[in-house]
Amino acid sequence: MVEQLYRQAGAITWPLERVRQWFDQAVERIVREEGAVLLMSGRRADLEAFRLRFRRSLTELHEILQSAGNNID
């Protein structure tokens, strides 16, 4: 997903809220395609924990990359 995010035009300049919105839409597709175990009965808590940790990690990474400024090529 990180690669998919930064393939979006201008993604490195997106504000955090836009990154979060993109994530919220993209994670649904990724879980459907790759996360069958998380969709099983009784795994809702695991799915939500995964989603929250991944979302937080992605926004923290985005902040770090933005703070690196123009050194990103």
Instruction: Please give the pLDDT value at position 70.
Output: 54
Average pLDDT, the chain: 89
Confidence of residue 71 (pLDDT cuts 50, 70, 90): low
* Segment 24-54, tens digit of pLDDT: 999 988 888 877 888 888 888 998 998 999 9
Residue 4 and residue 26 in contact, taking contact as beta carbons nearer than 8 Å: yes
What CA–CA distances, in Å, run from 20 to 29, 56, 58, 66? 15, 9, 8, 15
- As a whole number of angstroms, the distance between CA 26 and CA 21 comes to 9
